[in-house]
Amino acid sequence: MTEDSRAVGAPTLEDVAKAAGVSRATVSRVINGVRNVDPVIQAAVRDAVAVTGYTPNRAARSLVTRKADSIALVVSGAGDDPPPVAATAGGGSGDGGREGAGFDGGVGSFMTDVFGDPFFGRVVTGVVNFLRPRGIHPVLMFAETSRARDEVVSYLRQGSADGALVVSTHAEDPLPALITDAGLPAVLYARPARPVRISYVDLAHQDGARLAAEHLLARGRRRIVTIAGPLDVPAGQDRLAGFRDTMARQGHPYVPVAEGEFTEESGASAMERLLAEQPDLDGVFAANDLMAVGACRVLRERGRRVPEDVAVIGFDDSRAAASCRPPLTTVRQPVEDMAAEMARLLLDRLARPERPVTSVIFEPTLIHRASA
């Protein structure tokens, strides 16, 4: 295939060269980003490209630059079976604070639940909005089994994508280590549960939980409980630790806790257990919005008014927070911005491979609505 293998009548490199008054080879060098081309000539070639409407053939260009101009966006699980409960960043990723459902079926169920989880849509939005203006295209891949993980590593080794953005759905996900051990560029959404030499973006989860505790106390609530996320993942641990620490510093050494799975139904079940333990509770912090929605539903069924009788705070500021009745006060996790930063870190690594791995931690904010 040549660089201007295209439909008859479409502009060619020769057309651009003629319009710019330079050789075909010079046009090719400019289009493929070769350095040491006079800036005046570069400008002339770009003007000629605009005038002629020439579009480089991406496949041919990749043969020259050895770049795929695509990034793999990988949603990964753990083991040979789909994980029993996903802990996805932001509501999710290994985890961040997942907004969606647990992954408890086969491969098809894994994909169905991924597409049904609003967290992943927010990640894709952030990645696409960052990469599209730069002419780079994300390729969505699933790695829910050991075979699928091997395929992802092989795909990257072959140069089919320039690097990977990884969203783990399980604390024991081996894919980040497999990718880094292979020397392949990648960035992870959320701090890995175990040390891996990989760049990542995450949220200051403990600080977010502190905001929730302070707000409930400032509202005069004293019989406060919390619905924790899965405690086998960093975000679930951090949100609970931050909440407990702040409560203790304010003279509340014991906070009843029920563990959920970042799903609405698990939040409802946890609320039932907490009401049985402390019937006169007047404040609830749920470690994500979906669990808070489930808690509000149970409180309504039990005749408890929100926020008059019980104040409820969620985490993530997902679509579920705005659609809840009443709308949820919640701790915002800027998932789209975090996903864009993940993509930026990867492109920076591709441009400067010698740079050490790094982490970027985003700050949470409290979004005040009607529930607390």
> Two tokens at 354?
């010698």
pLDDT tens digits along 57-88: 554 554 444 566 889 999 987 655 444 443 33
Q: What is the dihedral of CA 156, 161, 162, 163, to 10 degrees?
A: -60
Element (H, E) at 74: strand 70-76
In whole angstroms, give the CA distance from residue 128 to residue 344.
11
For 35-55, write each residue's pLDDT tens digit. Answer: 677 888 888 888 888 888 776
Q: Which residues pair with 186 in a beta bridge?
A: 164
DSSP 164: E
Closest Cα to residue 320, out of 302, 296, 284, 338? 296
> What is the reported pTM?
0.75
Beta bridge partners of 360: 201
d(CA 177, CA 237): 22
Q: Reply yes or no: is the peptide bond before residue 326 cis, omega within 30 of 0.
A: yes
pLDDT tens, residue by residue, 210-264: 999 999 999 999 999 999 999 988 999 999 999 999 999 999 999 999 999 999 9
pLDDT digit string, tens, across residues 176-210: 999 999 999 999 999 998 889 999 999 999 999 99
Residue 5 near residue 56 (C-beta atoms within 8 A): no
- Could you identify the residue written with the tokens 């710019």? 20
Answer for the pair 166, 186: CB distance below 8 angstroms, yes or no: yes
Mean confidence (pLDDT) of the chain: 85
